[in-house]
A and B are shown apart, each in its own frame.
Chain A
Amino acid sequence: MTSPVIEVRHLSFSYEDIPILEDVSLAVQKGEFVALIGPNGAGKTTLLKIILGLLPVQQGEVRVFGKPPKYLGNLRHRIGYIPQLPHFDPYFPITLREFVLTGRYGLIGIGKRPKKTDWEAVENALEAVHLESLGEKLLGELSGGQRQRALIARALSTNPEVLLCDEPTTAVDPKSSESFYELLLRLKEEGKTILVVSHDVGVIAQYVDSIACLNRTLFCHRRPEEVISQEILEALYGKEVAFFHHGEIPHIVVRKEKGEQ
């Protein structure tokens, strides 16, 4: 068996003495589509940022393509990062085409200008997300769903092997959210390895190969149908939540009213 693309071993991380992650171990194999779920404040984004090299490895070990995130060098461009949508100022004066190009800035090199091949890569990325006709639109002129796809195009602009997505469907409507995951599924079928951070187990369970449950520590990483049992979800989100099942899939997770059975 080949070594995992992403490997996290006994990782702990604290922020000003407040433990955020404790003894987390996780492996993502090549070509796998993994969801990292957990309640707000579970440390999901922190784990993603450590994998990306945005936060340091304080304790434990993290390997991406077999190397620590800090020393990835050019391998860094084989990772595509899709941040949360509200992360961006929607009125920033930039066209969609220029925005997608920013994904290649690291690859182009400091102080260097984009070449013809860079613009071709941008066009390919826009075609992959079906936004090729909107290249000259401003980021702020796109709908929520289109902006979401713009973020994927930006991540795809370096033709990465791995996609890391942080709560990608925050602030988009359910229909856009579904088409977003369908697009990710298509990319997985093309051979990409995908790790998606989400707090919405209901939607994502239909698309992924496995679900990793994180709430400060990682207490399970299994196939979706094994994870979506009442016991595991209660252990993850606490007893104060209720799950409404549509068939096998729990679609809504809400806080129970006081006194409600």
Chain B
Amino acid sequence: MSLLSLGFMQRAIIAGCLVGMLCALIGVFVVLKRLSFMGAGISHAAFGGVALGYVLGIHPTFTAFVFCILTGLGIAFLSKERRLKEDTLVGIAFASTMAFGVFLIGIGKVRNVDIFGYLFGNILAITREDLIFASLLSGLVLFVLFVFYKEFVIVTLDPEGGKASGIPVEAFSYLLVTLVAAVVAVTIRLVGIVLASALLVLPAATALIRARTIPQAMLFALLNGIAVSLGGLFLAYFLNAPAGATIVLLGTGVFLVVSISSSSPRQG
């Protein structure tokens, strides 16, 4: 039986392409705006959301999505309005949202929860609903990135100058964090909560080593993200290894090769 005729593999391949594309495109702004650690904090928050979904009987991907967005916006808001350091807030959110998830699963007596799958990814668990959700989100993220491309550039390059020229940079910063949270929520189905932030950062960081402009970085990251996601999936299948970990390790390998072979590393 052909590998591609397996239902779970077909779903994993579609998810790999969508997630690889989303992470790559948004990841360029994440790396340039130094939001990598924020991405890690947001992805861990998903665990609290997943647990809440199980306890309330709502689809966990949906609750994880909402939880990720609220955590991202909360961190961005508090660091701006209360002048708290962003890394401190991420450090707190990181642990407390995980603790919230463990607590809920404990007191909710939730059984048959694939915790390991949520933490490290489980391609067998990708459902048709997940794919529909990921497709809709991909369309939305692509649309927002296309329409507000130059606003995201100014928010990343020079928020102060943007504000001086009348662009509502705070609103676009929040929008960027919302997109990051949304992408992370989809990514966790493929590579898991613990590894999602790696997929958000790796293709973009690799692309930015060589890219001369942001559109070029997006294109390089897109090709790299999809290639790494699909390559990792097939490699995992043939090695009988966990897919999420294989994808992330493959991405890290590509990053290392490109950064070592490049004479003048820049953003990576």
Contact = CB atoms under 8 A, between A and B. Distances in A.
Given A91-B266, A93-B267, A102-B154, A83 B161 contact: yes
- Indicate the size class of the contact surface on chain A: 20 to 34
A26 B31 CA distance: 42
B17 interface: no
A99 B161 CA distance: 12
B167 A110 contact: yes
Nearest to A107: B165
Contact of B208 (A93, A102, A138): A93
Given A52-B164, A54-B164, A92 B212 contact: no
B211 interface: yes
B151 A111 contact: yes
A4 interface: no
A93 B212 contact: yes
Interface residues of B, number: 28
B99 interface: no
A216 to B, nearest CB: 22
Interface string A103-123: 101111011011000000000
B160 A87 contact: yes
Interface-central residue, A73, A79, A88, A91, by most chain B CB under 10 Å:
A91
A102 B148 contact: no
A76 interface: yes
Interface string B157-185: 11011111111100000000000000000
- Mostly helix, strand, loop or mixed at chain B's interface? helix
B240 interface: no
Given A87-B158, A91-B267, A93-B266, A106 B167 contact: yes
A53 B213 CA distance: 30
A94 B151 contact: no
B268 to A, nearest CB: 10
B100 to A, nearest CB: 33
A25 B151 CA distance: 35
B166 A54 contact: no
A94 B213 contact: yes
Nearest to B147: A111
Given A53-B163, A140-B266, 11 more contacts: A54-B160, A79-B164, A87-B158, A93-B211, A93-B267, A94-B153, A94-B157, A95-B213, A102-B162, A105-B150, A111-B151
Interface of A: 52-54, 72-73, 76-77, 79, 81, 83, 87-89, 91-95, 98-99, 102-103, 105-108, 110-111, 113-114, 138, 140, 154, 158
Interface of B: 32, 147-148, 150-151, 153-154, 156-158, 160-168, 208, 211-214, 216-217, 266-267
